Structure formats: C-alpha cells, structure tokens
Copies of this chain bind each other. A is one copy, B any other.
Amino acid sequence: MNKENTAIVTSADKIPRKSVQAGSGTSMQILIGSDIAPNFAMRRFIMEPGGGMPNHTNSVEHEQFILRGRARVGIGKDIYEVKSGDVVFIPRGIPHWYKAEGNEPFEFICVVPNEPDHIEVIDKTSS
C-alpha cells in the first residue's frame, strides 16, 4: 500500500522525542509526519517548566491545542496566558514565543502544512 492508504493508530508516548535546538527545555514529537500524511503534519511539543521558545517567525501557520500545563505565549504585540483546553492559531509570518509556567510540563499539539518551514529567530532573550 502506498502512503495514501495506510492508517496509523499508536500511542503518542511511544513516539521518539527530539530536542528543539532553538528552544530551552523543549522537545518535539512528529505524531503524523509528511511521509504519511498528504497535506499537513501533526506534532506534539513538550516544554519543561521554565522552558520555551524565543521570539521567532515561521513561514507556515500553526494550529494548536493545549493538552497540559500552562504558559505565557506572545503573538505579535499581544501576550496571552494559555492553559490545557485552549486553542491557538498563529498565522504564518507572525512573531511568537512561548514560556512554560507552573510546575508541570506545557504540552500542545501543533499542526503545520506540508510546506518548507523557514524559521527565523528574532530575539533570543524575549522568552
């Protein structure tokens, strides 16, 4: 069967984590990758308390669902307090950053289109 016909059912906890070099205390799992899915990829990010990502832009949009924990998230000129059960849409090209808060990991689903993602860090000190 080619990739268009292959179903997947698995536990996210079985999928390897990769450290996200641009962040601190941040790892990422590719839950459903562009090798399988024709249009977009589903990832899970895990940020340890105090960890996060500096202010940066992506050339692709983000559709996110917060699974666990809480964080401050900067998007453009606004800062939000987000928590489990929140939904976040970050348009392509808009600067954004994350800072995990509280005592448990901050975890979220992040879906991106299968397009090249050019990432540009704007300010390493802003998270």
Contact = CB atoms under 8 A, between A and B. Distances in A.
Question: How many subunits of this chain does the assembly comprise?
Answer: 2
29 contacts: A5-B91, A5-B94, A6-B89, A6-B91, A7-B76, A7-B88, A7-B89, A8-B87, A9-B75, A9-B87, A10-B86, A10-B87, A11-B87, A12-B85, A15-B87, A31-B87, A32-B89, A37-B89, A38-B92, A39-B40, A39-B113, A40-B63, A40-B111, A42-B65, A42-B87, A63-B111, A65-B65, A65-B67, A65-B109
A99 to B, nearest CB: 15
Contacts of A73: 9
A113 to B, nearest CB: 5
